[in-house]
Amino acid sequence: MSKELILEALSALPAEFDAEEFLERLTLLEKIQQSREQVQRAETLSFEEMKQVAQSWRK
């Protein structure tokens, strides 16, 4: 995560905010960034592959 992204997230918050809310927002942004990187590296599942994975959870 870049310092710029952290500062951007911080500046989007109101003057008074809960630190836990900020940490949750940073966690979400980090996960989004990781997901985008996985897509760029073609580390994704097709819809059919995901259906098979989801079916295995039901067992």
- Mean pLDDT in runs of 10 for the chain (59 residues)? 90 92 93 95 94 91
Query: ∠ CA 24-54-25 to the nearest 5 degrees?
Result: 10
pLDDT at 47: 95
Burial class (CB in 10 A: 0-12, 13-18, 19+), 22: middle
Question: What CA–CA distance (Å, rounded) separates 29 from 33?
Answer: 6
pTM of the predicted model over 0.85: no
